[in-house]
Amino acid sequence: MSSALSSKRASTKQSATQKVSPKKYRANRWIRNTLITSIGAALLTACASSPTGRHQLKLFPSSEIDQMGVQSFVQMKEETPSTTNTTTSAYVNCVANQVIAQVPAKYGIDNWEVVVFESDQVNAFALPGGKVGVYTGLLKVANNQDQLAAVIGHELSHVLAEHGNERVSTSFATETGLALAYKVSGEQSTEKDQLFALLGIGSQVGIVLPFGRIQESEADEMGLELMAKAGFQPQQAVNLWQNMAQASGESQPELLSTHPSHENRIKDLQSQMAKANTLYQQAQAEGRIPNCKI
């Protein structure tokens, strides 16, 4: 019995050794540790700070992100018609140009391009490289020049804070990290596929979307200051989001949204209103009194 048991144990041990040799195990462990170290070093060297002092991950040169923004804008202009209403275009440009004038020179964007697109979308955007798009549908919700300035200030702030670079970098790091982990984790199996599918969902909700909410709140804060410095009434930013809330009706929970809830957004804006009002009063005293009409 003892001899047979010993023989069986030896056979089992030999089989296990054949499945994963010490040399192969050490090699896999070395690859895994090297990858983790390399990724960690890359992330540390890519850390930066946003204009509000928040830590950011930026893996790509700003010039490369700017080029992506310019190319995207060219494509959008080819696919979406610009408005032929010269009054509407002049109005939007009037508001945008006064907000743009308050962008500090340190950001290095000398020439902004503003295009009004003929579309029912209630939206606007700004792209790296100094490109701004406003959909005519937004003017049905942004009821006056101050509310439009709030939107434009918000969108400009996304560019100034390099949120585009941050989004791309975060997505790249998340997807690359999962792919590398999958590669070094051993042979494929149904259980492992399910695990990494869950990790993918977890990373999307736990990393990418919260970054989106943080970016939106940061753009609100920066945009409120920009519009106030341009002489637009900051309180109208709150009125704008109240209009948005009425227009959007039921919306998905904030947890799974890249935007803050309307209630939280309004609450945050109200908390920043004292500083914004001071900037607004200074602008008015210095003669910055916008008068954009449609």
- With H, G, I as helix, E, B as strand and everything else as coil, classify residue 237: helix
Q: Residue 227's closest CA among 276, 267, 179, 275?
A: 276
Catalytic residue, candidates 64, 113, 155, 225: 155
Distance CA 109, CA 50 (A): 17
Please report which helix (H) or strand (E) contains residue 217, including its range.
helix 209-229
Concatenate the DSSP letters of all residues of 39-103 into one string.
HHHHHHHTEEE-TTS-EEE--S-HHHHHHHHHHHHHHHHHHSPBP--HHHHHHHHHHHHHHHTTS
Q: Is 155 designated active site? A: yes
* CB-CB contact of 227 with 237 (8 Å): yes
Q: What are the distances in angstroms from CA 42 to CA 59, 191, 257, 262, 265?
A: 8, 30, 29, 36, 34
Residue 290 tokens, joined? 């916008």
Residues involved in catalysis: 155
